[in-house]
Amino acid sequence: MPRSTTSIRLPDELVAALDERAAALGMTRSQLIVAAVEQALDDRSSWSPGFLKAIGAQRTDLDQIVDEMMDAIRARRSRSTARDL
């Protein structure tokens, strides 16, 4: 397969972590990056762009729904205040 070269800029901490992981796996930095990109592009468990767009749509009714839910919870609470967690 023909190969292309690309350059990216990464924070030093990320490069250090990348090198550490590659060494632990017995791979080169480049091999690990290629494997990670292949996995990201082939990830069938990822959410579809349409789904992400749908859940990202602004719901103007959510504030009211949450307020109603919290009122119902407070009304049925056996303690006067919530426990600190």
The model's pLDDT over 6-53, given as tens digits with 9 standing for 90+, comes to: 999 999 999 999 999 999 999 999 999 999 988 888 766 677 778 777
| Phi, psi at 39, each rounded to 5° | -65, -45
The upper half-sphere exposure of residue 12, i.e. CA atoms within 13 Å in the direction of its Cβ, equals 0
- pTM of the model as a whole: 0.51
